[in-house]
Amino acid sequence: MATMGSLAFVTDHTTIESPVLLKNRRRLKIPLFAYYRPRKSLLDTAFVCCNTKIVGSRRGWRVKATGEKGSGGDASGDTDEALQVVIEKSKKLLAKQRDLLQQIAERREIIASINNTKINSEKDEISSEEEGESFLELDSNLPNDIYTRENPSTSKSYDIHTSKSGFKSPPKTYLDEDFKNKTQSTNSERATTYELPPFVSDISTTYKELEDTNESPLHHVEDVPDVPIGDDLKSPPLAGPNVMNIILVAAECAPWSKTGGLGDVAGALPKALAKRGHRVMVVAPRYGNYAELHDTGIRKRYMVNGQDMEVHYFQTYIDGVDFVFIENSMFQNLGSNIYSGNRTDILRRMVLFCKAAIEVPWHVPCGGICYGDGNLVFIANDWHTALLPVYLKAYYHEHGLMQYARSVLVIHNIAHQGRGPVDDFSYTDLPPQYLNLFKMYDPIGGEHFNIFAAGLKSAYRIITVSHGYAWELKTTEGGQGLHNIINEHDWKLTGIVNGIDKTEWNPESDIHLTSDNYTNYSLQTLHTHKPQCKAALQHELGLPIRADIPVIAFIGRLDNQKGVDLIGEAIPWMMDQDVQVVMLGTGRPELENMLRGMEARYRDRVRGWVGFSVKMAHRITAGADVLLMPSRFEPCGLNQLYAMSYGTVPVVHGVGGLKDTVEPFDPYRETGLGWVFERAETGRLIEAVGNCLLTYREYKESWVGIQRRGMMKDLSWENAACQYEEVLVAAKYQW
């Protein structure tokens, strides 16, 4: 084996010594490099440093050629040259190694200082409790290396490298103006004697209430006497140094509450963010008695329109995400109709929800430790939670509180804006100078109050759920009255296409396909098992069981947005095409009646299921051949993504996220994922469905190609989560 080829076999003569590393390795009985796992390439380089001795000294590292040969080595004339190359590589390696050691040292220092603070903090707690005052705030310098935890409801042990020392107990005060210029670790020292603003909840009560329930918010934390660096330190997070605390706040969250795509996103995106190493929480209202939750015992009171209201916080931990639910009688008993009630009912609910959600990182210990506000980004969603960015600024930042917390607002649908008469402003309990944020004028509504407008202006960043929709939002038609604001804030707008939750929506493991003759399927079994699902669907819906007849489906809210009326107009034409049509949806009464009418008229070929059934949505997606989405606008659209991953071919109006995600089928190049028509008109829909049916019937190979490409497309949340992270980081560093 010649020269550099010999690199493959020598590790025997490589010694990497660092006094710190070796000492710790011996003490903790861990192998070299287990402290922090560098990338594989780095390790490879480390172990191929043949004939090289790397020696750590007080002054640093040295690389020394030993001149020894590895077993089987070959002393050719190239040795010097090879040695030089190796030395250069070793130098690079050592530089990286030094960085790692530096990180270890820093981490140790942090943890040591936390342990010290813990002692001081406990002393402070005792003294402030004596004065009848306590204040919970997470030290913003707490490390974020909480890579793994167990569900607090099932276990009380946590693999975290921090302790309850993260809490400080300054008096009921808020921080002075100088705050911005100081490091967060000095915040408590700099606390002054100002009174808390009246709208901020009485933080001092948290401990007392927990004492009443004999429960400490820290009861899950095991004391960590020694710094647990070593084997139990997991691989570094994908997010690297960007790891942060993220709290997604939404009016609905699947599987507990869902009326549409917002619920899906709130249930899935956080899991993908958590996988990247962030500490992630979802906060949603508790509309029902959800089985998985436990009562944290935390109670808080907030004023809403002059009424004092108490909220209870419930919590669970699933798939790496903390889910916190806020309970109040206003949320309870809404059943599945979570947006029911009149305008001011909903407004009052959302005011309370946003007020209670924003303080969750202060009050609700998840896994024993509150998130704190030091390294925190809130993700608010749609108008329901668009008050959160406003409150964050008005209630907290302006009073020196939560100075490092940021908010990002996601637009899932601009059509719903939280509009009302200007007098509605009084419900927000904001100082009068904030009215201008909400005041809007348009030719239809005249002067009015608009929550989405205020949220867009106040958020540090704005995300919407596709690139196409990001563009449309800036147009008069797409922005639905908010286009000027969106244009003004264009610099903070990013389009990120939604993903799909592969644990929920995966034909290989879909739990709704395991009974009633449905079956799971994959690319390999597409040709046999998907037809079985089709037959099961036809059977379940009482339609003739025919393999050769195309089943065309629609699933969604029955709303003007979704273009369901276009399907209604196209139905007579479709009935001449020998197809079966299956529609599932709820919404506008006239459209629900349209579904019922179509079924009554074409009983042997049409099913119009009026209702909300997650199980049927899955089964239809699996059993149908074609999915129609003639939406007039569609910010992203999830059903076409689900359809493609189930080998069901979408026919969509080329708008917003539909245009971004469904590449039109090109019969010449055999590329594309479905059919895309240019205008939301019945004629265009008919033309696209006609071409689709022709391919289905006459060009079977092309059809299977479309199905397979859809199933193979990476539609997972991982990619989107990575893009979210970039936006969250941008928000975090924005003042």
Question: Tokens 């993700």 map to which residue?
Answer: 379
| Cβ(416)–Cβ(387) below 8 Å | no
Give the SS3 label for residue 174.
coil
Comparing CB distances to ligand ADQ, the nearer of 170 and 481 is 481
Comparing CB distances to ligand ADQ, the nearer of 218 and 680 is 680
Cα–Cα distance for residue pair 88/73, rounded to 1 Å: 20
Cα–Cα distance for residue pair 319/317, rounded to 1 Å: 7
Cα–Cα distance for residue pair 135/684, rounded to 1 Å: 63
Comparing CB distances to ligand ADQ, the nearer of 534 and 557 is 557
Give the SS3 label for residue 383.
helix
Binding stretches for ligand ADQ (CB under 6 A): 260-262, 264-265, 412-413, 465, 498, 555-557, 584-586, 612-614, 617, 634-639, 657
- Quote the distance between the C-alpha of residue 415 and its chain's center: 22
What dihedral angle (degrees, nearest 10) is formed by the CA atoms of 33, 721, 150, 299? 140
Residue nearest to ligand ADQ (CB): 260
Give the up-direction half-sphere exposure of residue 694: CA atoms within 13 A in the CB hemisphere: 9
Amino acid letter, 393: K
Select from 1, 18, 22, 19 the least CA-distant residue to 10.
1
Strands (DSSP E) contained in 305-375 are: 307-318, 321-327
Cα–Cα distance for residue pair 76/602, rounded to 1 Å: 86
Q: Which helix (H) or strand (E) holds 147?
A: none
Q: Which helix (H) or strand (E) holds 569?
A: helix 564-575
Q: Which helix (H) or strand (E) holds 693?
A: helix 682-698
| Cβ(605)–Cβ(575) below 8 Å | yes
Comparing CB distances to ligand ADQ, the nearer of 145 and 264 is 264
Select from 561, 735, 716, 732 the least CA-distant residue to 634.
561
Cα–Cα distance for residue pair 149/595, rounded to 1 Å: 48
Q: Which helix (H) or strand (E) holds 681?
A: none
| Cβ(514)–Cβ(520) below 8 Å | yes
Cα–Cα distance for residue pair 623/642, rounded to 1 Å: 12
CB atoms within 10 A of CB 2: 9
CB atoms within 10 A of CB 205: 16
Cα–Cα distance for residue pair 176/173, rounded to 1 Å: 9
Strands 446-450, 439-442: parallel, antiparallel or unpaired by DSSP?
A: antiparallel
Tokens of 254: 């699947």
* Axis crossing angle, helix 564-575 with helix 589-601, rounded to the nearest 10: 10
Tokens of 536: 């099961």
Cα–Cα distance for residue pair 372/32, rounded to 1 Å: 35
Q: How would you list the strands of the sheet with 439-442, edge to edge?
A: 419-420, 446-450, 439-442
CB atoms within 10 A of CB 134: 21
Tokens of 464: 């919407």
| Cβ(519)–Cβ(510) below 8 Å | no
